[in-house]
Amino acid sequence: MEKWDARPLQSTHNTQYGWNVLELESRQNLHSKIRELIDLTLHSPLSTRDMQHCLHLCQAEFGKLFAFQLVRSLQRTDVDEREAVVWLITQLQDQYTVPLLQKLSQQQHQSRAVRLSASLALAGMGETKEMQTTPPPRLYAIS
């Protein structure tokens, strides 16, 4: 009886994608975590430092897949959710997202809003041509 219960987890593979049950569960956890972060961004009084801590914990737990899925979340139809994802990406400051965002911002089949959001995230990270060629402004303290 015990061997029968353990077999589905060991040998069940989705032949189309090559995923097993545990990988699918991990992806579900990732999707729910991203939804939770978006909701926290929209409806929570957490500080920026607390949100950055949550982002880094998720990044440590899920690795590069977290950044990849966060960029894919820019394709949401809700404007507020897309804005929250842009903010999350800029707070994460993961260099792995830069080529993904550049590619997304140049895909003509994507909606204008999605391409604009990807470009805005790049600008927020300081990764656009204009941000890199323009010298930073000098800040003066007046006493």
- The pLDDT, as a whole number, for residue 22 is 62
When pLDDT is cut at 50, 70 and 90, the band that residue 69 belongs to is: very high
Summarize pLDDT for 1-39 with one digit per residue, the tens.
455 544 444 444 444 555 566 666 778 888 889 999 999
For residue 108, the SS3 value is coil
Summarize pLDDT for 83-130 with one digit per residue, the tens.
999 999 999 999 999 999 999 999 999 999 999 999 999 988 887 776
* d(C-alpha 143, C-alpha 132), whole Å: 31
- The pLDDT, as a whole number, for residue 11 is 45
pTM over 0.85: no
**Three-class DSSP labels, 36-102:** HHHHHHHHCCCCHHHHHHHHHHHHHHHCHHHHHHHHHHHHCCCHHHHHHHHHHHHHHCCCCHHHHHH
- The pLDDT, as a whole number, for residue 104 is 93
In the chain, domain spans: 26-129
